[in-house]
Every structure is written in structure tokens, then in C-alpha cells.
Amino acid sequence: MKIAIAIVDAFTNKAFGGNPAAVCLLDTSISKEQMQKIAMEMNLSETAFVERTDEPDIFNLRWFTPLLEIDLCGHATLASAFQMLYSRWVIPDQTIRFNTKSGELRVKSSEEWLEMDFPLIPTYKEEHPYFKDDFFGKKIVGVSQLRKNWIIELEDYQAVESVKPDLNIISENSEEGIIITAEGKDPYDIYSRFFGPNVGVNEDPVTGFAHCALMDYWYQKTGKFTLRAFQASKRGGILNLEKHDDRVIIRGQAVQVLLGEFSL
């Protein structure tokens, strides 16, 4: 059996920026075990698998890290929608509806951007049991908890850019990982980074799900309904966020960098 696979850089408009995701558009169903093996072989933060349904605009979407299946992934959803447009599985301006473990997600193209409709992830102010005053030498000014992860706000964007965390300590003191954030510098409202060693991703280049929580965190703090966000990893990534009640619109761009096939 031949399985087509692509690598798409998400949240960027140039190759080798943003966050790479592998995308398999499946014409034939494969097992969860096969999906996990492909994700391990690709060894990217996420590999996405898309299957058609009986409805022309509804698709099943699953995401796997090299270690496990996850409930929500923004950049691999963006990459999947881009590859579906590129491969003519869907047409421009068509709203793509994905069945996922996080419910229905919708993506549509809007000029040169892709626009994702995601759930807002609630965040709650809480003291971290380990990181109380500083995060590896950088002053902490706020902490909130979300499902399986933490948000730690640092003093400024320079602290976010320059901090060098001990991933073993993060692994021991989080269920999945830790999002760090701070007010950004022009033209960005916020900066962030995400460390997820417990899901097989030491530092994720650009993290869509994290921004579903960051939108809630910064809305609580500033009252802003829109944010221009920069994830300050080595690759870097740009996300435009807009809060609508309990949903977040995430706008991003993508580019294909590799196309090939697996032999199963």
C-alpha cells in the first residue's frame, strides 16, 4: 500500500519557517497503530491524518506526536487544510469541517490566509507548585493553569526569547508542558514559547492550541478581543487571533516543502 505524505510549514509564508507538520490525505483507511508508526518515522511534533466522509465538506482528522495521539493541534490542522487545497481535495473559499477529538473544527481560506475556528481554552489563575518566583532565572509575573498545561507569564519579551529551560525539570513539573508568554514588541501584542517534553516535543516551533489558551489569558488581563502573536522559537511563527465568545479565530499561512509516499 502506498500512502502519500507531505510536509507543510505552518504559520509562515516561507519555507523552513513556522512549524512543520506531516500530512497524510488518506484514500484508504489505516489503523491507529499504523498512524502512530508513521508519526514516529516522521519524528515531527505532529503528523495529521485526514479521511473523507460521506459528506463532501466533512472530514475526519487525527493528530499524532511521535509518542501518542493528541486531542487538539492547531498547526497540523492548518497544514492539513493547506494540503487539501493544494491537492484539490477541496476548492478555495470552501469551509472545511473536521471531525476531531475536540469536536468540530472549521477552516476556510481568506485571501492569502487560512482561518481556523477553534474552541477557546479556559485558563485559571493558580500558583504553580514548583515555579513560584522565577522560571529558570526569569521573573514570573503571572501563572494560570489549563487542562494538562500551565501558562507562565514572564517580565518581558526578552525573557521569553532568552530563557534556557531544563526540560527534565519541566517534565517533572507538568502533565504535558508549559507555555511561557509576555507582552510583545511592535508589531506583536504577545510573545510565547511552548515546551512539551511529556508529549515528545521539547520545544514546539509554533503551537496553535496554546494560543487558544493564550487568547483567554490575555483577554482576562487586557480585555483585548484581537491579538497579533509571535511564537519566539528558533523558526518563529505568526498568528492573528480573534475572540468570539467561547471560540477563537486563528489566522495563519502555510507552505509545502516536501511531497512523497510511504510504502506499508
Catalytic residues: 46
170 Cβ contact list (under 8 Å, min separation 6): 177, 178, 195, 197
Contact 13, 112 (CB under 8 A): yes
Contact 241, 233 (CB under 8 A): no
Integer Cα distance of 246 and 122 in angstroms: 9
Nine-digit cell at 45?
511534533
Contact 116, 105 (CB under 8 A): yes
Place of cell 509554533: 206
Integer Cα distance of 143 and 15 in angstroms: 34
Selection from 161, 163, 126, 166 nearest residue 142 by Cα: 126
Question: Is 209 in a helix, a strand, or coil?
Answer: helix
213-to-14, 46, 209, 220 alpha-carbon distances in Å: 26, 19, 7, 11
Selection from 94, 92, 100 nearest residue 46 by Cα: 100
